[in-house]
Homo-oligomer: A and B are copies of this chain.
Amino acid sequence: MAGGQGRVLELAVLGSLHETPLHGYELRKRLNALLGMFRAFSYGSLYPCLRSLLARGLIAEEQPAPTAIVGGRSKIVYKLTAEGKERLQELLTQAGPAAWEDESFGVHFAFFRHTEAEVRLRILEGRRSRLEERLDAVRTALARTAERLDSYTLELQRHGLESVEREVRWLNELIATERRASSEERPERDTTSTDE
């Protein structure tokens, strides 16, 4: 009860408000532009989320400068509080399944510039294993039933596999880039030696 909502939307809102204070309508527009192809948040979840964050003191209403008020426009601008910034950092530090599942990975990735390098790497690797798991499952299932399937089903499977394989390659590149960047940052450290 009381608008608990999942951590994904919470992170998305907190992360957006970290850049600049916003009101609901604009917040939703930015979020859906930011995530573009991956998700689309709706008011039905956004407003309860804002209410919950407000109640928990993670965001606060910001009254506009008195000079700007003319007709008493009812626009509620929210800004991040100190507690909200703390909570955001906490969410950005978490590198678990909650960060690399389908629904949440995009949001976490979108705020990677506020995330520590080590956490970034673990999320990218977690995402990759998740996808490889799925590839294995589908490939074995496909091997057992391929001859029984019609051409449409087969084509669907083929296209799905290819899409996920493509995403894995994308992740590989990102991981390589992250590794390169982090080894350049402190070249003396060599714990994993040359495992790649």
Contact = CB atoms under 8 A, between A and B. Distances in A.
Question: Which one of A33, A111, A174 has the highest number of Cβ atoms from chain B below 10 Å of its Cβ?
Answer: A33
Contacts of A33: 137-138, 141-142, 145
Interface residues of A, number: 33
Contacts of A109: 152, 156
A161 interface: yes
A84 to B, nearest CB: 20
B153 A38 contact: no
Nearest to A148: B19
Interface string A153-174: 1011101110110110010001
Given A138-B37, A141-B36, A159 B152 contact: no
A185 to B, nearest CB: 16
Contacts of A34: 153
A160 B36 contact: yes
A90 interface: no
Contacts of A141: 33, 36
Contacts of A163: 37, 163, 166-167
A73 interface: no
Contacts of A184: none
Nearest to A37: B160
Interface string A95-136: 000000000001001111100000000000000000000100
Interface of A: 33-34, 36-38, 106, 109-113, 134, 137-138, 141-142, 145, 150-153, 155-157, 159-161, 163-164, 166-167, 170, 174
By Cβ-Cβ distance, the 3 closest A-B pairs, closest first, are A37-B160, A112-B152, A33-B141
